[in-house]
Structure 1
Amino acid sequence: MQQLLFALFTMIIGVAGCAIYFIASNWALDWIFPSKGRSGAAASRNLRRSNMIRPWLFLAPALLALTVYLVYPVIESAWLSFHGKDGQQFVGLGNYRWMAGDGEFRQSIFNNFLWLLIVPAATTFFGLIIAALTDRIWWGNIAKSLIFMPMAISFVGASVIWKFVYDYRPQGTEQIGILNAIVTYFGGTPEAWITLPFWNNVFLMVILIWIQTGFAMVILSAALRGIPEETIEAAVIDGASGLQIFFKIMVPQIWATIAVVWTTITILVLKVFDIVLAMTNGQWNTQVLANLMFNWMFRGGGDFGRGATIAMIIMILVIPIMVWNIRNAAKEMEGR
């Protein structure tokens, strides 16, 4: 109850603070550049000045937050990547040379590459198929709501749920893990799924696919509904089958949206951390870059230099995809 009251108090203070800020800043702007009671030229000049400044008053909190929590950390991380464990001794490119020869880093890169190959493709595919199917049934909105529900769960919460799915107990004892319960029911041998080499990475990916399919479904469903009916009717008249209409008529018309969904999930995959930390903590060859960065930065005494170096690699990998995504979204908006 105390935590709930504290959360409620924090939300009230935050909303009230925002309201006070905007009211006070607008009042101050109108006081500095008054338009009422002034002559025509002076009133017009002050109104023009206040209209130029007013948008920045609304943007100022967001810009301040971005500077403090994004711009400054990037600059500080870049600086630390050229320094040693304590962040004081300058080592030049030493951390980058270590990274190139470190086996755990290479394993993390390989695992991230696997995530990039499987998760965006599977999530986009399932989201597209579900979006197309649910639009054809009367209870489609209910199905969409159920599929979208995992989006409301945190990654750690979802990992806890899936721990019960993959849970392993020795053979001969009752299996509480759903997967092993099914296997033993059909006469199979229970497995410690998240310790199996290579496949444990796939089992972890399933969690993120389960969470993000709802996001892909919602975006792609909106895009499918935006397809002109005339093109589909023309294809039906020409004798096209359902699959031909879907893959040759509908998909090409929403390809830009598919690309945006794909790249958005790709950025998320490059930063995946919570699932690996909660499920395996990087053991059994499941380490990924973000979890490796966390280990070097905050565990075992902490090595700020190496942790910051891995953080810079993640940022370098994310930036090109993010820029492409933003440009593609801007082009799509201009086309509308």
Structure 2
Amino acid sequence: MLSQLVSALGVVVVAVFACAAYFYFSNKFLDMALPVRDGDITAASRNLNRRAVIRPWLFLFPALFLLVVYLVYPVIATVILSFYDRSGVQFVGFSNYQWAFTDREFRQSIFNNILWLAVVPAACTFFGLVIAVMTDRIWWGNIAKSIVFMPMAISFVGASVIWKFIYEYRGGNATQIGLLNAIVQLFGGTPQVWISVPFWNSFFLMIILIWIQTGFAMVILSAALRGIPEETIEAAVIDGANGWQIFWRIMVPQVWGTIAVVWTTITILVLKVFDIVLTMTNGQWDTMVLANLMFNWMFRGGGDSGRSAVIALIIMLAVTPIMVWNVRRANRELGGK
């Protein structure tokens, strides 16, 4: 444990000094390459302008370099791999794409992803908004917010393990230790393996992500709600509006932009959901999603780089429009448009 901490600290120290050294020597080299001499005013002015143009790119270069290495190059390599066989050697054209849209498991994964997209972002945003409104009206609201936000500190795998105990099933006459089955048994019902129930098992997995992400939605929306002018609420009360009308006709319209951002952010997360399905069912009982299917084709059964590349590209194509919309909206808000 101590050696790991020392190694981590060493990496941080080396990285900080490396960054400082890069910025110092790159600026020094720029000043040497474009000198400013007192004798030649025209050349000095030209070099100062060139320095002003080049210097920001010196600061951006490390980030741009890492972006190319870890994002642009992998995307290009993935596109190329999608046209090759499982070993990445023999060119097979569009056969991997043809397989994708004729394979039953792939179609099931697409259906499950659509189901997740329809339920999770909507549920997280709705519950987050409702909790944000309710907790702002009670004296112990900050405590309630802390409790709701707490699952955000838990990893997806850790949260899945917690919920696995909630859905736990013991066969025969064994005492049910799973909370859900214990409640069902208390009311005279029949305990069962909930995560193997067709169709509904996907919803049992979605609950885990909703439980985690509702805290995120609540915090963002709570901040947005506090930005609503009190005069607007007071005017609505004077005009005779009840709580329900104030919520839907005053509050929601004024934080609609924030609601959209929260919704799309959680949507991007849902498109990449992997850990929960892997931990809970490993994709069994028709719970497979695209990220898990990609993992299976790439790293199990000998691996198939061609088919896994196709699935990766489909996930990327699904995520990209939402990310572009989010960035454009953020730019419009920053620009005051």
Which 4+ runs in 1 deviate beyond 6 A? 36-40
Q: 1:293 to 1:332 in 2, by over 3 A?
A: same
Amino acid aligned to 1:156: V
Q: 1:34 to 1:238 in 2, by over 3 A?
A: farther
TM-score by length of 1: 0.93
In structure 2, distance between residues paired with 1:141 and 1:273: 32
Aligned residue number for residue 135 of structure 2: 134
Aligned residue number for residue 328 of structure 1: 329
1:243 aligned to 2:229?
Answer: no
Tell me by how many angstroms 1:270 deviates.
Answer: 1.0
Q: How big is each residue's C-alpha offset from its partner over 1:60-97, in whole Å with a ceiling of 9 and x where there is no partner?
A: 22111111111111111111111111111111111111
Amino acid aligned to 2:81: L
1:143 aligned to 2:144?
Answer: yes
Tell me by how many angstroms 1:259 deviates.
Answer: 0.9
In structure 2, distance between residues paired with 1:105 and 1:243: 43
Amino acid aligned to 2:168: D
- In structure 2, the gaps of 5 or more residues are none
Aligned residue number for residue 210 of structure 1: 211
Identify which range, 17-26 or 294-303, moves more after superposition.
17-26
State the secondary structure of the residue aligned to 1:101.
coil
Identify which range, 251-260 or 23-32, moves more after superposition.
23-32
Identify which range, 97-106 or 16-25, moves more after superposition.
16-25
Q: How big is each residue's C-alpha offset from its partner over 1:259-316, in whole Å with a ceiling of 9 and x where there is no partner?
A: 1111111111111111111111101100000110111111101111111011111111
Q: 1:6 to 1:332 in 2, by over 3 A?
A: same
Amino acid aligned to 1:79: I
Tell me by how many angstroms 1:43 deviates.
Answer: 5.2
Aligned residue number for residue 116 of structure 2: 115
Q: 1:91 to 1:55 in 2, by over 3 A?
A: same
Q: CA RMSD in A?
A: 2.1
Contact 1:256/1:332 (<8 A) preserved: no
Aligned residue number for residue 289 of structure 2: 288
Aligned residue number for residue 261 of structure 2: 260
Q: 1:146 to 1:14 in 2, by over 3 A?
A: farther
1:153 aligned to 2:127?
Answer: no
1:191 aligned to 2:192?
Answer: yes
Q: 1:306 to 1:222 in 2, by over 3 A?
A: same
Percent identity over paired residues? 71
Identify which range, 159-168 or 91-100, moves more after superposition.
159-168
Q: How big is each residue's C-alpha offset from its partner over 1:88-108, in whole Å with a ceiling of 9 and x where there is no partner?
A: 111111111111110000100
Amino acid aligned to 1:21: Y
Q: How does 1:14-93 map to 2 (within 5 A)?
A: 14-33=15-34, 44-93=45-94
In structure 1, distance between residues paired with 2:20 and 2:185: 59
Tell me by how many angstroms 1:171 deviates.
Answer: 4.1
In structure 1, distance between residues paired with 2:53 and 2:138: 50
In structure 1, distance between residues paired with 2:281 and 2:139: 41
Amino acid aligned to 1:266: T
In structure 2, distance between residues paired with 1:164 and 1:37: 76
Contact 1:171/1:189 (<8 A) preserved: no
In structure 2, distance between residues paired with 1:276 and 1:232: 43
Contact 1:168/1:180 (<8 A) preserved: yes
Q: How big is each residue's C-alpha offset from its partner over 1:9-48, in whole Å with a ceiling of 9 and x where there is no partner?
A: 3333333333333333334334444569787665554443
Identify which range, 194-203 or 183-192, moves more after superposition.
183-192
In structure 1, distance between residues paired with 2:311 and 2:280: 21
Tell me by how many angstroms 1:197 deviates.
Answer: 1.0
In structure 1, distance between residues paired with 2:195 and 2:138: 37
State the secondary structure of the residue aligned to 1:247.
helix
In structure 1, distance between residues paired with 2:186 and 2:244: 37
Q: 1:15 to 1:130 in 2, by over 3 A?
A: farther
TM-score by length of 2: 0.92
Q: How many residues align?
A: 336
Q: 1:246 to 1:6 in 2, by over 3 A?
A: same
- In structure 1, the gaps of 5 or more residues are none
Identify which range, 134-143 or 265-274, moves more after superposition.
134-143
Q: 1:158 to 1:40 in 2, by over 3 A?
A: farther
Q: How big is each residue's C-alpha offset from its partner over 1:230-252, in whole Å with a ceiling of 9 and x where there is no partner?
A: 22121111111111111101101
